[in-house]
Amino acid sequence: MAQVTLQGKPCRINGELPEVGAVAPDFRLTDVDLVDVGLKDLGGKALLSVVPSLDTPVCATSAQVFNEAATQRSCAFVVVSADLPFAMSRFCTGAGLGKVRVLSMMRSRQFAEDYGVLITEGPLAGVAARAVIVIDGEGRVAYTELVGEIGDEPDYQAALKVLDALG
């Protein structure tokens, strides 16, 4: 079982990210129109930015950075959080984010469990740790990063470099 920190204090998570080369676990998440979305619905290559909540500065920054990156690339950029779809929609509208797709874990934490990012202990128990997963066009994991300190930003350039190398 992996562990992350929140302001230096340990927060246990339920498992490990999928290994690079493994088939990406399918999922069911909810979009802003309350429609369930699965991996196949993303249409090929995808970058999943998993965040605890868009209602925090670091999560908002991540969404903005990946939204900007999405303007230059043709693949799905998805932000996954425990936020309700209504709040996610308000955030995206207010921040002018039209390129990232936001998906909620409101109906189930199965995504976080299957991807090994469900925080099981600490003040954020029940939400997902910050992570980035790149999935190639064949549905295989091409890159993963579990951010060790929840308050830190991910390595955007490393994830985008792998995404770009996929063509």
What is the 3-state secondary structure of the chain?
A: CCEEEECCEEEEECCCCCCCCCECCCCCEECCCCCEECHHHHCCCEEEEECCCCCCHHHHHHHHHHHHHHCCCCCEEEEEECCCHHHHHHHHHHHCCCCCEEEECCCCCHHHHHCCCEECCCCCCCCECCEEEEECCCCEEEEEEECCECCCCCCHHHHHHHHHHCC
pLDDT, tens only, 63-84: 999 999 999 998 999 999 999 9
pLDDT attached to residue 3: 81
pLDDT band of 122, cuts 50, 70, 90: confident
Number of folded domains that form the chain: 1
Residues of the chain with pLDDT > 70: what percent?
A: 99
Give mean pLDDT, residues 150-166. 95
* Domain around 44: 3-165
Annotated catalytic residues are 59
CATH number at residue 55: 3.40.30.10
Cα 43–150–26 angle (5° rounding)? Answer: 25
Task: Reply yes or no on whether the pLDDT at 1 is more than 80.
Answer: no
pLDDT attached to residue 2: 81
Cα 130–41–100 angle (5° rounding)? Answer: 45
